[in-house]
Amino acid sequence: MRANPTTFVSIKLTLLWLFIISFFLALTSIVGGWWYTSSQQIQCGFPMAFYDIKSEREVVVTKGVYRSYRDGFNQGHTSYLGTLSRFVDGELIAPVTNIHRALWFETQFHHNLLKIKVTHLSRGLGDRSHDDDVEDYVFPYIQPGDVSMIGLYMLDGKVLASGTENVARNICIR
């Protein structure tokens, strides 16, 4: 008994569509899994110390670690965990202040420029800092709604250097 040619073609097309759909689902799950796990990891972390010499006698020292995370294709956040100390004549004049803050932002790329719009700031667990100190020493002059342009530069094909117009440059080595 001979097979009907239309039945044979429909079976071939069904197998072809099954292969295409299976391939697409496998590719989607691999890319989705990579994106989900990489977005939860620290994208960059760097320590920084900032010394503000107020006068010959008075110094404010901020030491901590910034960590940058990617939360999506155009979103991210940066956290800061550190301390602030005030000295007069080399003596600590107040208890060391713990700082734990985070800054959320939205991004857009324009060639080697990254446009960042701050969406909100928040306190973390154990934060005992004043908002004025955070604005002066941790996230200088950055408030929700502010927009900054960051230049991104690859150094020697391995190191990413960046920074806004109102904060120190930083380098991330991955």
User: What's the rounded mean pLDDT across residues 38-58?
Assistant: 78
* Model pLDDT, residue 87: 95
Angstrom CA distances, 79 to 28, 53, 76, 151, stand at 31, 25, 10, 20
Residue 122's contacts (CB-CB under 8 Å, 6 or more residues apart) are 101, 102, 104
pTM above 0.75, yes or no: no
Domain range list for the chain: 1-40, 42-173
Please, which pLDDT band fits residue 92 given cuts at 50, 70 and 90?
very high
Inter-residue contact 112 to 81 (CB < 8 Å): no
Q: Which CATH architecture has domain 42-173?
A: Beta Barrel (2.40)
